[in-house]
Amino acid sequence: MLYIKKPSVYSVFDELIYKILNEGDDVETEFGEPTKEIRNTIIEITNPNLKKVPEKYPLGKKAVDDYINHLLYGSKNEFSYDYHQRLFKYPYKDEEINQIEYIINKLNQQKNSRRALAITWNPKIDIEVSKDERGSVPCLQYIQFLIRNNNLYMTVLFRSNDAFLAFPANALGLIELGHLVAKKTNTKFKSYLHHAVSMHIYIERDKDMLKKSGFL
């Protein structure tokens, strides 16, 4: 288990990558890819207003901006899942459920609610997709918001998270979602907590980029 508490994603990134490379377990994925992994990595961002992209993040600011745009407003690309769809238009029978709208309404009705949450996993879809060797299913699983003393606290859970290529965009994108909820609930966005059950780095696949970024 790893716990890192820092003001920003920017200040977390280098420590996270070095910790996984130096202390992570060697784990081969179900697809035969070598990784370094730390189970149950918890990252607490104490100042979500700090949105600078880590300098060593190989995909850069554009990738983060694109991720934020797709998360909040949707994408024209077609995947077996889409976070915007699962959060804003969750498929259930013949319905589409806007879970973010529910969260905002719930918190505005009951400031101390523990029920302001959203899920992305859809068993009807994702169990079947998982049977395909390369089927793509959501890594982000769960989001919950709490308001305490007019401060907004956001917690997210990932079943699996690529620390090197995905974490910065994931975290900064979800933090932007947190700012949206804070604005709609007239609260101060106080803390973002990011929990990844499997936080990992693809050692062989990303070796060249890891070297170029100065991690190897």
Q: Which of 109, 78, 85 lies closest to 99 in space, CA to CA?
A: 85
Q: Spell out the residues 6+ positions from residue 92 whose beta carbon is closer than 8 angstroms to its own.
A: none
Q: Spell out the residues 6+ positions from residue 94 whose beta carbon is closer than 8 angstroms to its own.
A: none
Q: Is 185 helix (H, G, I), strand (E, B) or coil?
A: helix
Phi and psi at 129, nearest 5°, equal -65, -35
Q: Spell out the residues 6+ positions from residue 53 whose beta carbon is closer than 8 angstroms to its own.
A: 9, 10, 60, 61, 64, 168, 172
Tokens 């699983």 belong to: 141
DSSP 45: E
What are the distances in angstroms from CA 106 to CA 146, 147, 201?
A: 11, 11, 37
Q: Which residues are catalytic?
A: 139
